[in-house]
Amino acid sequence: MSTKRIVPAILVAWLGTAAMAAQTAPDFSGNWVLDRTASVLQAESAVVESGTVRIEHRDPAFRFARTFVVKQQPVDTAFDIATDGREVARAVAGRTSRSRLEWQGRSLLLTVLIDTPRGEVSNIVRWRQDTSRD
């Protein structure tokens, strides 16, 4: 391949990368209600009757507050984490966990690994904005 052909290909790839970087990342701030029909709740999570989530997102800061209702009783969880993919260790109610929040394209992926007496449990959540209309 000649140099004349390589340079335009590199320029096009660079311009495409610059255009993608110029797009702003989605802001997931808001109040959200659990849609059980669109959610996959497995194992212990299957007992969740309803849930609400409040997110305050100013990238890279991400604040999460959730209330699940289980057996008609609220169960609250809240945490702050950055979207930079760094692992954060926590100890809550005698359990340790490791969390990571990272961008994957225009989606945010939260991975939480929780140490329990029965072994490690994972909680994986992906946030994405669906811009399609029904």
pLDDT tens by residue, 76-101:
989 999 999 999 999 977 889 999 99
User: H-helix or E-strand containing 95?
Assistant: strand 95-104
Residue 37, pLDDT score: 87
Decide: helix, strand or coil at residue 89. strand
19-25: long-range pairs with CB below 8 Å, 24+:
23/106, 25/59, 25/103, 25/106
Residue 53, pLDDT score: 94
Give the domain ranges of the chain.
3-127
Residue 20, pLDDT score: 47
Residue 31, pLDDT score: 96
Candidates 102, 93, 118; CA nearest to 43 is: 118
Residue 5, pLDDT score: 42
Residue 132, pLDDT score: 58
Residue 36, pLDDT score: 86
Residues of the chain with pLDDT under 70: 1-23, 131-134
Residue 11, pLDDT score: 38
Decide: helix, strand or coil at residue 105. coil
The two three-digit tokens of residue 6, written as one number: 């390589």
CATH topology of domain 3-127: Lipocalin (2.40.128)
